[in-house]
Amino acid sequence: MRFPGAVGALSTAWLLAACARTSPAVPEAGPRVTSDAVEVGSVSLERGPCFGTCPVYKVTIDRTGAVRFEGRRFVADSGESTGTVPPGQVDSLLAELDAAGYWRFADMYRMGEPTCSRYATDLPTVITTVRLGTRTKRVEHDRGCADAPEALSALETRIDEVAGVSRWIGK
């Protein structure tokens, strides 16, 4: 009589163990996050005032192609405006930033910094910020600093082009 009881107890223990398992031994098919997944990211550019009528604004482009423009002074559209660009253009811009060495630029190019020995006054400051995944880089560029890399100025212009700021600043 003990034998059927032992088999019964063993069967019950096996059944309880099988039901108690919360995750399958073999992963289920479905979406998986891999290193090739699209990273969250954005690029922003902020142009400050100068000793004249330089446009003062901030523009942000996110990885999906959403563009947010905040016109402050000397722009055709003051206040907040939005638009879109193709996400592929944003990816191309991020690739251009990377290829030009954006992540290796100094954080500041302004008077008094070791990165700026030649300086002219009354020019605007441009601040760029790139967020990609867990990385963030912010570069403050006083346009009066003649020692800043030419690639930085070219990238600032490129950000404006991709965002299409001319539709809001009127130039």
Percent over 70 (pLDDT), the chain: 77
- The predicted model scores a pTM of 0.77
Taking only the tens place, the pLDDT of each residue in 124-153 is: 999 999 999 999 999 999 999 999 999 999
What domains can be seen in the chain, in order of their start residue? 41-169 (3.30.1560.10)
DSSP string spanning the chain?
Answer: -HHHHHHHHHHHHHHHHHHH--S-SSPPSS----TTSPPPEEEEEEE---SS---EEEEEEETTSEEEEEEEESSSS-EEEEEE--HHHHHHHHHHHHHTTGGGS-SEESTTSTT-SSB-SS--EEEEEEEETTEEEEEEEETTBTTS-HHHHHHHHHHHHHHTTHHHH--
